[in-house]
A and B are shown apart, each in its own frame.
Chain A
Amino acid sequence: MDRIRTLGRTGIGMIESLGASSMLLWNSLMWGGPGSAGFGDLVKQLFSVGVRSLSIITVAGFFVGMVLGLQGYTILVDFGSEAALGTLVSLTLLRELGPVVTALLFAGRAGSALTAEIGLMKATEQLSAMEMMGVDPLKRVITPRLWAGMISMPILALIFSTVGIWGGAFVAVDMLGIDDGAYWGNMQASVTFYNDVVKGIIKSLAFGWVVTWIAVYQGYASMPTSEGIGKATTQTVVIASLAVLGLDFVLTAVMFGGV
């Protein structure tokens, strides 16, 4: 009986936060585009959300590309089709690993920082102070962060895939001795701009939106204590990662799979 009650309460709580976070999203985005809170604010957030994630994305992308090159080679060489390595590396990165791994790293790096920052602003009453000055913190604090996340994520994912493909080329061509022309030629023959590149960008846009939304909501709704902020930060990473993986399945099914 108690367990059922707990389950019910958890369910109601989840629906409540879904409603509250939807209202947050609505109120922050309804009233204006990326520059509505002042262009300076957006640039500042692009810096802390996007540029600050650049190093981890680049390094991770390079390693993931190299690993794909090595693993792909050992599999393909058994079929005598190691010339298809470029295709394998690029398609894997563009369709899946680029958007997904970038989103997971983004949730850990930028998402948790967003939550902690907003949670701290709440705990130190900065958001209240803003409200009392007649400035809506949703527009002033949340909106530029949401936009910065949505703009940064596709850029980061593209950079991740690019670096990864060149990392794969480094392993394939320079280390394993696959013909340069075969690597790039096969890739160009099978990768299509709309089907692979654009669909990957659509994925990363969706991920950027979800991760940032979860991050700002967790910060905005956090308990204004150090423990509450810590918990909210963890929640951001957990929920955002799961949301990314779940959404990835749906998007893959809709865009690539014949489900």
Chain B
Amino acid sequence: MQKRSLEFTVGIFMVMGIVALVLMAFRVSGLSVSDAGDTYTVKAHFENLGGLNDRAKVSMAGVTIGRVTNIYLDKDWYSAVVEMEINKDVDNLSIDTSAAILTAGLLGEKYIGLTVGAETDFLKDGDWIEDTQSAIVLEELIGRFLFNKAEEG
């Protein structure tokens, strides 16, 4: 009897571990079962990423609809290429959708914001987003501001 209860307690302990792991996976890291596979990839050129990272979120109207999966340099154009995967259920992004690198808050992390256009054709897997707007780099902004001031003065 005593032995049974010992094994039972240890069993409960193990179950608690598994429950904790499951909570970590789904509640904390937002892993969703349908995450893999149910996405399609689109790419975009940017002049300047300004600190955009892998796995940054892609959002539309403030709702996260995908993630950045890959970032590399296009050697012919000397510009950055960003690959992002978009959830399959958001399948009606027009081909003239524009992408901008935005910042959450003043100093927050960078993310990509999408804004739809007017075309009736939709982006498919592997398509390029043509209309992009690079990150606003604070140093450049300040530099330009000072330059303007100097010209005025």
Contact = CB atoms under 8 A, between A and B. Distances in A.
Interface of A: 40, 43-44, 46-47, 50-51, 54, 79-81, 84, 90, 94, 152, 154-155, 158-159, 161-162, 165, 184, 187-193, 195-197
Contacts of A187: 28, 30
Interface in B1-41: 3, 6-7, 9-10, 13-14, 16-17, 20-21, 23-25, 27-31
Contacts of B30: 187-189, 191
Given A81-B105, A162-B23, A155 B28 contact: no
Given A159-B16, A159-B20, A165 B106 contact: no
B57 interface: yes
A88 to B, nearest CB: 12
A190 B110 CA distance: 12
Given A51-B13, A191-B29, 5 more contacts: A40-B3, A43-B10, A47-B9, A54-B16, A197-B21
Given A84-B108, A191-B30, A44 B17 contact: no
A197 B107 contact: no
Contacts of B24: 94, 158, 161-162, 193, 197
Contact of B20 (A44, A80, A158, A191): A158
A50 B13 CA distance: 8
Contacts of B3: 40
Given A154-B17, A155-B13, A155-B16, A193 B105 contact: no
B130 interface: no
B55 interface: yes
B64 interface: yes
A46 B10 contact: yes
Interface of B: 3, 6-7, 9-10, 13-14, 16-17, 20-21, 23-25, 27-31, 55, 57, 64, 105-109
Contact of A193 (B6, B25, B57): B25
Given A155-B16, A155-B17, A189 B10 contact: no
A51 B11 CA distance: 10
A47 B10 contact: yes
B3 to A, nearest CB: 8
Given A46-B13, A80-B105, A191-B30, A162 B6 contact: no
B64 to A, nearest CB: 6
Contacts of B17: 154-155, 158-159
A81 B108 contact: yes
A188 B29 CA distance: 5
A43 to B, nearest CB: 5
Contacts of B64: 189
B34 to A, nearest CB: 14
Nearest to B21: A158
B7 to A, nearest CB: 6
A54 B57 contact: no
Contacts of A94: 24, 28
A188 B27 CA distance: 7
A79 B7 CA distance: 51
Contacts of A40: 3
B13 A190 contact: no
Nearest to A192: B29
Nearest to B31: A193
